[in-house]
Amino acid sequence: MAATTTSPSNIRWSFGRLAPLVSTPSFFACQFWRVLRLERTSSSSSRLPSPSTRFLVARSYIADGQSNLRQSRIDQFHQDVRKYFITVLEYIFKKLPVNADLLRHAEVVDVTKRVSAKFSDLTFFLDAYPSLLPAGCTVDSIAEDFATYQCLELESCIKPRLDQTWLAIAQLTDETGAFFLKDLASVMCGILVIPHSNAHCERIFSTVRKNRTDQRASLADDTLDALLVSKAKPGHPCDAARQHSKADLKQLKQAYYLANKATSATAATSS
């Protein structure tokens, strides 16, 4: 931008008109910060701060009335930011399965909504995934547990996460010391682990490709399975043993080099 156009009186940013052209709301604060930096030419900083800092500065900049932007431009900016987020939400509701039957019935696991929950929501999952039903348990017994569950005061069991909440409910005992909601809790925990996308499957495929490479194409399935399980365990005892010194790594690299060299020499001799 030329020097004659950087004065406050010549800066005429129409922020609202930029909204349909961008894909992230941080763009607005970024542009606003550029205006602020242009108008405060005494600032020697040439690096833009973090997006959260830019948002705070932009908001306070407008609120303090220090900007030279006309109020109509600021109002238009706010309206189009709101329009941007409305458009994003409309896109989400249009493209994502937010109204899918599975998600609608999955609200049955919410303990805070247990009074209004319907057993038909639970049978939706039992019919679709029969393996959710614990061994030796029937749908009728689950229905009895569900009716009991709806009548209980469970505020003391509510935790930050639903899986933790149902784990606490599974530990409830009756007068005889039996866990009377264990089967129902097992079904609810099974519903919670139903994947909401194929991201986890794709992640596994990617991990498999990294382990069964072209150089290890003959790797047996049992060996591959053991490798994947070992790498998936956090805090495995082998983690400490995987920390090698530079000297050990150097020796290992040299051993690989000598082994490959010997193999190549043997192959050349035999041919």
Which pLDDT does position 24 carry in this prediction?
45
CA neighbor of 103 nearest in space, from 79, 126, 124, 74: 124
Backbone φ and ψ for 231, nearest 5 degrees, come out as: -75, -20
Greatest alpha-carbon pair distance for the chain in Å reads 86
Contact (Cβ atoms closer than 8 angstroms) between residue 164 and residue 157: no
d(C-alpha 208, C-alpha 36), whole Å: 50
Specify the length of the chain in residues.
271
What's the pLDDT at 58?
A: 64
Cβ pair 48, 54 in contact under 8 A: yes
Give residue 52's pLDDT: 61
Confidence of residue 149 (pLDDT cuts 50, 70, 90): very high
| pTM (2 d.p.) | 0.50
| pLDDT of 158 | 92
Instruction: Name the residue with tokens 């705070």.
Output: 56
Cite the DSSP H helix spans in the chain: 15-18, 26-39, 51-63, 71-95, 101-105, 119-128, 139-151, 162-170, 182-192, 199-211, 221-232, 238-241, 246-270
| Mean pLDDT in residue range 237-259 | 76
Q: Which of 61-65, 102-106, 198-202, 265-269 has the lowest mean pLDDT?
A: 61-65
Q: What is the pLDDT of residue 194?
A: 87
Sign of CA dihedral 148, 151, 157, 159: positive
Of 202, 208, 260, which is closest to residue 252 (Cα–Cα)? 260
Burial of 183 (0-12, 13-18, 19+ CB in 10 A): buried
| Stretch 150-174: mean pLDDT | 93
Q: Is the pLDDT of residue 116 over 70?
A: yes
| Alpha carbon distance 147, 139 (integer Å) | 12
Task: Output phi, psi for 196, to 5 deg.
Answer: -90, -5
